[in-house]
Amino acid sequence: MGVAAFVVLGVLVIVAIYGVSLYNGLVAVKHNVDKAWSNIDVLLKQRHEELPKLVETCKQYMKYEQDTLEKVIRARQSVAAAQGAGDIKALGQAETALRAGLGQLFALAEAYPDLKANDSFRHLQARISELENAIADRREFYNESVNINNVRIEQFPDVLLAGMAGARPRELLQFAEEEKKDVDVKALFG
Q: What's the pLDDT score for residue 189?
A: 41
Q: What's the pLDDT score for residue 127?
A: 92
Structural domain for 151, as ranges: 3-189
Q: What's the pLDDT score for residue 144?
A: 95
Q: Assess contact for 158 and 26: CB atoms under 8 A.
A: yes
| Cα 14 to Cα 26: distance, rounded to the nearest angstrom | 18
Compute how many other C-beta atoms are within 10 angstroms of the C-beta atom of residue 122.
14
Q: Which residues in the chain show pLDDT less than 70?
A: 1, 177-190
| Cα 95 to Cα 43: distance, rounded to the nearest angstrom | 13
CATH number at residue 143: 1.20.1440.20
Task: Find the DSSP H helices in the chain.
Answer: 3-59, 66-85, 88-109, 113-117, 119-154, 158-165, 185-189
Q: What's the pLDDT score for residue 177?
A: 60
Report which DSSP code applies to 167: -
State how many domains the chain has: 1
| Cα 60 to Cα 90: distance, rounded to the nearest angstrom | 32
Q: What's the pLDDT score for residue 187?
A: 47
Q: Which of 173, 147, 148 is nearest to 83 (CA)?
A: 173
